[in-house]
Amino acid sequence: MTKKGLALLLVFVLLGTLALTGCGDDTPSINVYNWGDYIDMDVIRQFEKEYGIKVRYDTFATNEDLYVKLKQGGSSYDVIFPSDYMIERMTREDLLVKLDKGNIPNMSKIDEKFLNRDYDPGNEYSVPYMWGTVGIIYNKTMIDKPLTSWADLWNEEYKGQIIMLNSQRDSLAVALKKLGFSMNTRNIDELEAAKEELVRQKPLVDAYLGDDIKGVIVAGDAAIGVVWSGDAVAMIRDNPDLEYVIPSEGTNLWFDAMVIPKNAKNKEGAEKFIDFMTRPDISAKNTEYIGYSTPIPEAKELLTDEIKNSLVAYPTDEMIENTEIFKDPTDIIGEYDRIWTELTSEQ
Amino acid sequence: MVEKSIKRIYTFLIFMFLYAPIIVLIIFSFNNSKSRGVWNGFTLKWYIELFKDREILKALYNTLLIAISSSIISTILGTFAAIGIYNMNGIFKKIILNLNYLPVLNPDILTAVSLMALFRFSKLEFGLFTMLLSHITFCVPYVILSILPKLKQMNIYLYEAAMDLGATPFYALRKVIIPQIMPGIITGGLMAFTLSIDDFVISFFNTGHGVSNLSIAIYSMARRGINPVINALSTLMFISMLILLFTINKRNDKDLIEGGR
């Protein structure tokens, strides 16, 4: 009967730990909700040590997952990391609180050009965390002449060599930009025209992929792909034959930023956390781990020369001159869905 | 001769199909690069990073904690429920049996969302506790279903004989019924354990701040690509399962083998 005794003991031990984790102790804590694998965990430990605030850390996969969690209620977060268009939507639906900038002095370290963008005028709600562009990556050994524009993705010569993103918003943005329209257009005719472009491109496309695009291009199984700049940096490190270009027609500029939701329980701690994350040495640590681009010039200076001088991670101002930030698509999402379904069912 | 080699090739193909993904995963846990497509040399760094990664270890801890406690609790609940159902009669038994089938047939997402609504309605704070409750909820019917057949196989007169010989009902339950249905209980417990480790949908909707299990942690890496640390972790889990299987087989405990099916 020792087996049964053991089982009983186990039950009690487990219930004990449950009870312990259930009712938290008295040290102040904050709940942080971030993208998966999007922080150097040492930074969290350092924050806990310096401020005596415990961090309960949790991760999500898409902006929409984050939105559902926030709307669903039941759990409260103190700091979350939505992207640009989601911040716009959350602000409109009154889900966020205004930041007290006096508590976030490090905000002054952020490069002016990343502040006061359309998704949050005056940065009343958000502090940028990472940013980047979307562009074309191609293998120089497989493509003879340099690619420069989205239109190159419609070149018959590259049939079967092109990998597009399996994402309605991003792929439509490529077609819209190629045609010279805004990627935030709400004009149905323009969206239809973009759909026709994508239908025309379809025979040339080898596959529509998500995150696996990286492996396929690095391995040389396809020559051309549409990727995010941060991923491009890592891909080029794995395969130096690759080259990243920001297409001449203009592209998507994106931000992930830190905001505080309305139902936060520890706003003071949340602002301390945001300020800490905006400190140059901390931002540099995170940037080094993630491989994306920091909006803080002093943090950039702390990185290795190879990254610091990389035009992939830190393009010049002219290169990102005609970029656009995604706007909240809620009112037109049905059209996107319809177009994408029609495109994917096209033979 | 030809027939034999065809048999062999067929078996080989089946096992290839089943195990190729795991083998690839194990190989790439030693790959010196974050990308999954290219081999970049041998390294153990993902294993070292795994033991330094607080987030993933916490998720593993949560997964095991939930799996062990929910399987133990649901096995206890399920065992008594099964004995109770077995002793029912007529239409009532039929109704209860079908009520028990329903959660098994229901899509996971339905269970997940309805539990979420219930927890929110009862103002419970989402976290480890709600996740545990939901896991117990979906495990109990499976436990009942794996114990009922064993009860049917049991000789009902054994219990009466024990009573005739002076055993109290509780003593007879402990010494006669439970040992008879032990293989079913173990099967049920193991099933609950694996179901709980597997589950994503129900956990995702019924967890709260700071609490994620492995499946949620892995899913949330979708945008940036699965960290190879996960390959290392999966390799270690696969090996522990293998060792567990070997020790169980080696013990050659008849009940366990019957129950482990």
Q: pLDDT tens per residue, chain B (261 residues)?
A: 788 899 999 999 999 999 999 998 899 889 887 766 678 788 888 899 888 888 888 899 999 999 999 999 999 999 999 999 998 888 999 999 999 988 889 899 999 999 999 998 888 888 899 999 999 999 999 999 999 999 999 888 888 899 899 889 889 888 889 999 998 998 899 889 989 998 999 998 888 777 888 888 888 887 777 788 888 999 998 998 888 788 777 765 555 445 444
pLDDT at B260: 45
Environment class of A112 (CB within 10 Å of its CB; exposed 0-12, middle 13-18, buried 19+)? exposed
Residue that the structure tokens 């990998």 belong to? A163
DSSP per-residue string spanning A189-244: HHHHHHHHHHHHHGGGEEEEESTTHHHHHHTTS-SEEEEEHHHHHHHHHH-TTEEE
C-beta atoms surrounding B133 within 10 Å: 16
Contacts of B90 (CB under 8 A, 6+ apart): none
Is residue A278 over pLDDT 70? yes
From chain B, the residues in CB contact with A21 under 8 A are: 127-128
pLDDT of A287 over the 70 cut:
yes
Is the pLDDT score of A82 beyond 90? yes
pLDDT of residue A1: 42
Judged by CB atoms closer than 8 Å, whether chains meet at A218 and B37 is answered as yes
Decide if A294 contacts A283 (C-beta within 8 A). Answer: yes
Asked if A280 and A299 touch (Cβ cutoff 8 Å), the reply is: yes
Which residue from A10, A37, A62 is facing B72, i.e. has the nearest CB? A10
Please state, rounded to an integer, the average pLDDT across all residues of chain A: 88
In the predicted structure, residue A110 carries a pLDDT above the cut 50: yes
Six token digits for residue A313: 């991670």
Beta bridge partners, A242, equal: A139
From the list B236, B115, B160, the residue with the least C-alpha distance to A72 is: B115
Phi, psi for residue A90 in degrees, rounded to 5: -65, -35
Helix (H), strand (E) at residue A34: strand A29-35
Mutate to test the interface with A, among B209, B215, B231 (most CBs of A within 10 A): B209
Contact map slice: B 165-184 vs A, CB within 8 A: none
3-class DSSP state of B215: helix
Averaged pLDDT, A237-245: 90
Grade residue A8 by pLDDT with cuts at 50, 70 and 90: low
Structure tokens at A21: 């984790």
How far is A189 from chain B, CA to nearest CA, in Å?
31
* CATH class, A25-125+254-308 region: alpha beta
Check A18 against B128: CB less than 8 A apart.
yes
Q: Would you call A218 and B38 a contact, using CB atoms and an 8 Å cutoff?
A: yes
Closest by Cα among A78, A129, A80 to A106: A129
Of B73, B128, B220, the CB nearest to A21: B128
Residues of chain B in contact with residue A35, where contact means CB-CB under 8 angstroms, are 220, 223-224
Q: Where are the domains of chain A?
A: 25-125+254-308, 132-252+323-345
Q: Alpha helix (H) ranges present in chain A?
A: 2-22, 41-51, 63-72, 84-92, 168-178, 188-201, 213-218, 229-238, 267-277, 280-290, 297-301, 305-308, 333-345
pLDDT at B251: 63
Domain A132-252+323-345 has CATH 3.40.190.10: yes
**Residue A199 CB neighbours (<10 A):** 14
Establish, for the pair of chains A and B, how many residue pairs have beta carbons separated by less than 8 Å: 123
B260 lies within 8 A of chain A by CB: no
Among chain B residues, CA nearest to A79 = B209
Cβ burial A54-84 (10 Å sphere, 16+ → b, else e): bbbbbbbbebebbbebbeeebbbbbbbbbbb
Residue B74 pLDDT: 96
Q: Are A245 and A251 in contact (CB under 8 A)?
A: no
User: How do beta strands A224-228 and A127-139 pair?
Assistant: antiparallel
Looking at the predicted structure, is the pLDDT value of residue A24 above 60? no
> DSSP 3-state assignment of B53?
coil
Sheet holding A29-35, edge to edge: A54-60, A29-35, A79-80
Q: With beta carbons under 8 A apart, name residues in chain B contacting A238.
A: 33-35, 38, 40
| A60 CA: distance to closest CA in chain B (Å) | 5
Structure-block tokens of residue B161? 């004989």
Tens-digit pLDDT profile for residues A85-98: 999 999 999 999 99
A251 Rama sector, left if φ>0, alpha if ψ -120 to 50, beta otherwise: beta
pLDDT of A127: 96
Say whether A219 and B38 touch across the interface (CB within 8 A).
yes
CA pair distance A73, A92, nearest whole angstrom:
18
pTM: 0.81
Q: Determine the distance in angstroms separating the CA of B16 from the nearest CA of chain A, rounded to an integer.
A: 23
Return contacts of B256-261, CB within 8 angstroms, 24+ apart. B256/B183, B256/B186, B258/B183, B259/B182, B259/B183, B259/B184, B259/B185, B259/B186, B259/B187, B259/B190, B260/B186, B260/B187, B260/B190, B261/B187
Question: What is the Cα–Cα distance from B185 to B148, expressed in whole angstroms?
Answer: 10
Q: Which amino acid is at A179?
A: L
Q: Note the pLDDT of residue A272.
A: 95
Distance, CA of B70 to CA of B82 (rounded, Å): 17
Distance separating alpha carbons of residues A325 and B252, to the nearest angstrom: 64
Q: Is B37 on the interface with A (CB under 8 A)?
A: yes
**How many Cβ atoms from other residues are within 10 Å of residue B180's Cβ?**
16
- Whether the CB of B68 is below 8 Å from some CB of chain A: the reply is yes
A132-252+323-345 shares the fold of A25-125+254-308: yes
Q: List, for residues A138-154, the tens digit of each pLDDT value.
A: 999 999 889 999 999 99
Instruction: Read off the pLDDT band of A7 (50, 70, 90).
Output: low
- What percentage of chain A carries pLDDT values higher than 70? 92
Predicted confidence at residue A18, as pLDDT, reads: 52
Interface predicted TM-score (ipTM): 0.71
Tell me the domain boundaries of chain B. Answer: 1-43, 49-259
Say if CB A339 and CB A202 are below 8 A apart: no
Best of B223, B230, B231, B255 to mutate (most A CBs within 10 Å, chain A): B223
Q: Which of A37, A221, A235 sits opposite B221 (nearest CB)?
A: A37
Residues in chain A, overall count = 347
Helix pair B90-105, B128-153: axis angle to 10 deg: 130
Q: What is the CATH number of domain B49-259?
A: 1.10.3720.10
Instruction: Tell me the C-alpha distance between A234 and A37, whole Å.
Output: 15
**In this predicted structure, what is the pLDDT of residue A3?**
55
Cβ within 8 Å, pair B125-A10? no
* Close Cβ partners of A149 (under 8 Å, ≥ 6 residues apart): A178, A247, A248, A249
Check the annotation: does A85 bind a ligand. yes
Instruction: State yes or no: pLDDT of A46 exceeds 90.
Output: yes
**CA B207 to CA A256: how far, in whole Å?**
24
Of B65, B69, B209, the CB nearest to A76: B209
Among A11, A58, A239, the strongest candidate for a mutation testing the B interface, having the largest count of B CBs within 10 A, is A58
How much is the pLDDT for A111? Answer: 94
